[in-house]
Amino acid sequence: MSESKNIALVLGSGGARGIAQIAAIEELTKAGFNITSIAGSSIGSLIGAMYAGGRLDGYRDWLGKLNYWDVFRLMDFSFTSKGFIKGEKVFKQIDPFLPKGNIEDLPIPFVAVAADIVNKKTVVFKKGNIKDAIRASVSIPTVLKPLEKDGIYYLDGGIVDPLPVDLVKRTGNDLLVAVDLNAMNKPMKVTISESEQSKLDELANKFLKWRNGDSSSKNDLGVFDMLNEAFDLTQDMLTTMILERNRPHIHVKISRKQCGVMDFHKADQLMAVGKEATKRAIAKYHKQLTETEST
């Protein structure tokens, strides 16, 4: 059996961990793989649409310049019951990197998944406005206000399908490749300078004190943390069941403990993690392919 170089790429949900997906795409293309279709959930829909529309490089460069307080300033807080961040600021900032027009006009076939919370069902965006599909797919419950359209509230795709391997278009002998942001493996260690780490720790501590109060107990979770832990647990269980039904040829595993859902200031570290995880996954695939051909 000869190796196929065409891949159907699945990008999962996982907040800021999705930055690792950018490096995964770079490593896959560097290794000679040709991405013929993409399916994304939550942050995976954002990354996937940007790549399909040829605008991912600009987004990657923008992320690399963010520090902790840049991320904080993008949080336009909303004191409503629908989510504590409106999302208008961040979408205004990333708008230059979003493909314009409709999904069906993208040069690479693309689908995004979201949850219709009114009718309690999964929604798969195969056509229609790209920005609306992404905005619907990334609406993390209680964090980002849901997209409301025609009386329907759309929430994060991770609620119903955190790794949409059964939704990606596959033709011929395309390989199935999944970048899983909810893997249960240990977080990878990445090296950053002591001065950078000190700065990040100082900023993080200030924000955590503001958000949760100055608690001395590591197990004393704030409401925000508990909700996100519950959401992550749901994604973990769904991802496990999904992968039991559809095993990818190349499975890139990013630990769900690698960073917090809002840690977009850690772009350099997450890019390094994505690069290494993808290299390992490709090497494992080639090893299995060689073993299969030799038997």
- The type of residue at 226 is M
Exactly one of 37, 41, 42, 137 is catalytic; which is it?
A: 42
Exactly one of 45, 137, 139, 156 is catalytic; which is it?
A: 156
3 DSSP assignment:
P
Reported in sequence order, the residue ranges of the chain that DSSP labels E, i.e. its strands, are: 6-11, 34-41, 77-80, 83-85, 110-116, 121-125, 147-149, 152-155, 175-183, 250-255
Rounded Cα gap, residues 165 and 11, in angstroms = 9
CB atoms within 10 A of CB 12: 32
Token look-up 């994304």 returns: 40
CA–chain centroid gap for 208, Å, is 23
Q: Is 42 a catalytic residue?
A: yes
- Residue 283, CA atoms < 13 Å, CB-side half-sphere: 6
End-to-end Cα, the chain, rounded Å: 11
- The type of residue at 234 is T
Q: Is 156 a catalytic residue?
A: yes
CB atoms within 10 A of CB 138: 30
Closest CA to 36 of 187, 171, 215: 171
Which residues are part of the catalytic machinery? 42, 156
